[in-house]
Structure 1
Amino acid sequence: MIDWITDLPHIELTKPIISELTGTLSISCWIIVFIPQIYEIYKTKSTKGLSLHFLVLWLIGDIFNLLGSIIQGLLLTVILLAGYYTLADMILILQYLYYRHREEKSNNIGIRNLSSNENLGDLEPILLSPTTSHVSELEPLLEHCDPHRTNRRSDMLCNVFAVLMVLVAGFISWYISFVREYRKGSATPIIHKPQLTFNLWGQIFGYISAILYLSSRVPQIHLNYKRKSCVGISLLFFLFACLGNILFIISLLVISLDHQYLMINFSWLLGSVGTLSMDLTIFIQFFIYDEQNSSLQQTKRTADYSNISLSKKKQPGVTSPSYEDIDDLDDSVV
């Protein structure tokens, strides 16, 4: 066992190895990129917060990206990724349409039930039950513990762990391939500068896909701004997209900085760099609106407690619960 470990080749960070490694890590990020958003929609059973225009433009961009990469004769990994993106886009759009239909159907049923009920006033005392007011009186005891902040910290740790696991899996996949090549007699992969020829239609499709990628983020950014919230979209979705673009850019540029090579790949570089900047804008929205929502929720809790306390004081013969009644409160809530 020890001999097998000592026989493993050492990694020298040459340009070919860096290109292969970053390319493999990029593929790992792009393979997983759609799963967090698909799970987010499945978990919440809602499409609120996600722009359909964003998904449609991304799908069209991936189609042109697939056609352009095939015509231009780019790396096989680029072609395979473009095909995978197209398939994943279709799955995400179908899921979006399915849950949007369910939401509209549920809303229509709710409106009909609401309009047919003529005695809604009978339900009002439930909202003013003693238990509810009793719980509200004790909210200041828990002000020092912000559940929103705790959940945010927990979500951040989960996101970091997920990213590390994907990168580790990508590295292991690359290293297994590297060891196989080493034992075949090729200790270091040799990547010659690709001899690409300029193809007009391939370039046209490439630039169209880049424009569509850039414009696809605009509806999502506008929707987030209009709602002042990023609830409904997955932070990991855009985090993996950013990492995938960064690693893809490195894998391309480390091969060659030759003028012709850069010009032929410029549309794909432009699409990656442009969408990276757009995704960073969405990241900023995540943190800005998350802080704003946290402040608003804290302010609302404080205002609600103040209103309830004032109303209690105005009622003769009504006293606020003492701290000794906390045990009784726990039993009533359970």
Structure 2
Amino acid sequence: MATARFPGKSADVDANWTALALGRPVCVNGTPWILYLLEECVENVWEYCSVVIGLVSMFCFLLSTLPQFYEAYRNGKVEEAMSFGFLFFLFSGDLTSFAGCYLTSQLPIQVVTVVFYIFTDLILISQFLYYKIKNSSSRKSPVLKWLCFMWCGAATLVLLALPKLIVDNTTSKSVEITGYICGYLASIFYLSSRFPQLYKNFQRQSTEGTSYLLFALAMMGNGTYGVSVIVVLPALKGSKQTFIIKHLAWLIGSLGVLILDFFVTAQFIMYRKNHSAKGSTLLSVPEVEPLLCEEVELSVL
């Protein structure tokens, strides 16, 4: 089971549904809820574990951006904390991942999920631009707020309409080679997204304004995705080498980003100490200033 952010496992269910239409028994020993929800025939414990772990991975990715939404709203200085390069490459990765989903005929739930990722990327970029304009302008214009609401509303309509249009479009043929190329491009974009943020944190010597849960949940999602691919290997009936090659692009992306997020975690740990030290220094200043003032007054007298 591949997540929509890193698609790679094509659903070979056309023959099953054709057989079902002809009245032949299909997936007799499969798990009913997985067949109904994911259109995937799971007949052994290895495949079942792969699907469940894959769903956990997808759930982690779905939740990953929500803490950053709140942090940006609470802090109000997202343009100082987050790198626009991080958001741009993340958005580019989700777009190419969506193309890979579509061209390699991924499951409907994967297509819907990747569209949700694109939607959350647009919200993050909107927040970034909104606070950048707001904080750089001396006048608070209500037009900016309404433009932001209109943008989010338009993105919501696209979120609701696009998956149905894509899933219902059964006349188009998948171009798998192009889809796998998009998978490699998506992995490159995801890997590239971490470097601007790492540099931004290093430049500021701080991670204030960014939510660590954004990266923690992404680490959980990437880690569980890798496990979901590996755990199904014992149950494969075909070539394991071919299976790995088909998943290689998304494995490189997920495991590579997982490693880079360990460096982001190290920055959160190191710079939190710096932030605590600065806070204690600021707290000590009011106690020192009156004493200094009194010493100056006595010296004058």
Separation of aligned partners in 1, 2:52 and 2:114: 19
What are the superposed Cα offsets for residues 194-242 of structure 1, whole Å, 9 maximum, x if unpaired? xxx9932112111111001001111111010000011111111111111
Q: State yes or no: 1:21 paired with 2:3.
A: no
Q: State yes or no: 1:72 paired with 2:104.
A: yes
Match of 2:187 in 1: 210
Match of 1:272 among 254, 276, 279: 254
Q: Are 1:30 and 1:81, in contact at CA under 8 Å, matched by a contact in 2?
A: no
Secondary structure of the equivalent of 1:236? helix
Match of 1:294 in 2: 276
Separation of aligned partners in 1, 2:244 and 2:112: 21
Give the fraction of aligned pairs with identical amino acids, expressed as a percent: 29
Q: Residue 34 of structure 1 aligns to which amino acid in structure 2?
A: T
What's the C-alpha RMSD, in Å, of the aligned pairs?
2.6
1:296-315 matched pairs, under 5 angstroms = 296-302=278-284, 305-315=287-297
Separation of aligned partners in 1, 2:252 and 2:266: 21
Unmatched tracts of structure 2, length 5 or more: 1-43, 142-173, 235-239
Match of 2:164 in 1: none
Larger Rg: 1
Q: Are 2:103 and 2:175, in contact at CA under 8 Å, matched by a contact in 1?
A: no
Higher relative contact order structure (alpha carbons within 8 Å, sequence separation ≥ 6): 1
Q: State yes or no: 1:260 paired with 2:242.
A: yes
Q: Residue 15 of structure 1 aligns to which amino acid in structure 2?
A: W
Shift of residue 96 of structure 1?
Answer: 1.6
Shift of residue 304 of structure 1?
Answer: 5.5
Separation of aligned partners in 1, 2:128 and 2:207: 16
Separation of aligned partners in 1, 2:139 and 2:213: 29
TM-score of the pair, normalised by structure 2: 0.66
Separation of aligned partners in 1, 2:218 and 2:277: 29
Q: Are 1:224 and 1:230, in contact at CA under 8 Å, matched by a contact in 2?
A: yes
Q: Are 1:67 and 1:205, in contact at CA under 8 Å, matched by a contact in 2?
A: yes
Match of 1:244 in 2: 221
Unmatched tracts of structure 1, length 5 or more: 1-12, 110-196, 318-334
Separation of aligned partners in 1, 2:226 and 2:71: 28
Aligned residues: 218
Shift of residue 298 of structure 1?
Answer: 2.2
Secondary structure of the equivalent of 2:138? helix
Q: Are 1:198 and 1:264, in contact at CA under 8 Å, matched by a contact in 2?
A: no
**Range 228-237 or range 19-28, more displaced:** 19-28
How has the CA–CA distance of structure 1 residues 250 and 295 changed in structure 2, closer, same or farther, with 3 Å as cutoff?
Answer: same
Q: Residue 217 of structure 2 aligns to which amino acid in structure 1?
A: F
Secondary structure of the equivalent of 2:206? coil
Shift of residue 70 of structure 1?
Answer: 2.1
Shift of residue 37 of structure 1?
Answer: 0.8
Q: State yes or no: 1:95 paired with 2:77.
A: no
Separation of aligned partners in 2, 1:283 and 1:105: 33
TM-score of the pair, normalised by structure 1: 0.60
Q: State yes or no: 1:40 paired with 2:65.
A: no
Q: Residue 218 of structure 1 aligns to which amino acid in structure 2?
A: F
1:1-334 matched pairs, under 5 angstroms = 14-47=45-78, 48-106=80-138, 199-256=176-233, 258-302=240-284, 305-316=287-298
Q: Residue 46 of structure 2 aligns to which amino acid in structure 1?
A: K
Separation of aligned partners in 2, 1:14 and 1:27: 20
Shift of residue 84 of structure 1?
Answer: 1.7
What are the superposed Cα offsets for residues 8-42 of structure 1, whole Å, 9 maximum, x if unpaired? xxxxx931232122122112211111111111111
